[in-house]
Amino acid sequence: MVNIILDYKICEGSKCAECAYVCPTNVFTIEKNSICIKSPEFCKLCGECLKICPYAALNIER
């Protein structure tokens, strides 16, 4: 299973939300102005979220 780690201290949440917009499998969702990892089991390890995050707030572990 994939473990997606989001550093909420540096994540801008809904102000940015680039990871939620770019994810092809909708792993992320926006709730109460924060990014939530909704369904990590659908992550295909494409890395698009890692590439687009301007704050490097994401990390993916296998």
What confidence category does residue 16 fall into, taking pLDDT thresholds of 50, 70 and 90? very high
In this structure, CATH architecture of domain 3-61: 2-Layer Sandwich (3.30)
Three-class DSSP category at 49: helix
Separation of alpha carbons 17 and 22, rounded Å = 9
In the chain, domain spans: 3-61
The model's pTM: 0.89
Percentage of residues of the chain with pLDDT beyond 90: 97
* Residue 1 predicted with pLDDT over 90: no
Give whole-number Cα distances, 25 to 10, 28, 31, 43, 59, in Å: 23, 9, 17, 7, 17
Overall size of the chain counted in residues: 62
